[in-house]
């Protein structure tokens, strides 16, 4: 599943970043990397999402969000 497919309030595990290397590097710098747990805090226009990671919130545009693969944490327990 991709980030835009997730419901508001979902707790997620980042399982894949299908982005160009420079974009993936920037997300890694911000703490959004494989194995990171994130919460969807807001849905934005055109598929964008606001996610909370380790006490910080990040707004991601729809194109970037669509290239982030996630799994709900509840299915992993």
Range of the domain at 16: 3-76
Q: Say yes or no to pLDDT of 77 above 60.
A: no
Closest CA to 58 of 38, 36, 34, 35: 38
Domain count across the chain: 1
Supply the mean pLDDT for the chain: 94
Residue that wins the pLDDT comparison between 77 and 72: 72
**What are the percentages of helix, strand and coil residues in the chain, rounded to 5?**
30, 40, 30
As a whole number of angstroms, the distance between CA 11 and CA 19 comes to 22
> What was the pLDDT predicted at 75?
54
CATH number at residue 61: 2.30.30.90
């Amino acid at each position: 599943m991709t980030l835009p497919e997730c419901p508001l309030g979902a707790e997620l595990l980042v399982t894949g970043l299908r982005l160009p290397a420079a974009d993936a590097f920037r997300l890694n710098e911000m703490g959004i990397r494989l194995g990171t747990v994130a919460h969807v805090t807001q849905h934005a226009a055109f598929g964008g999402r606001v996610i909370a990671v380790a006490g910080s919130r990040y707004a991601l545009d729809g194109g970037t969000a669509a290239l982030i693969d996630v799994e709900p944490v509840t299915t992993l327990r």
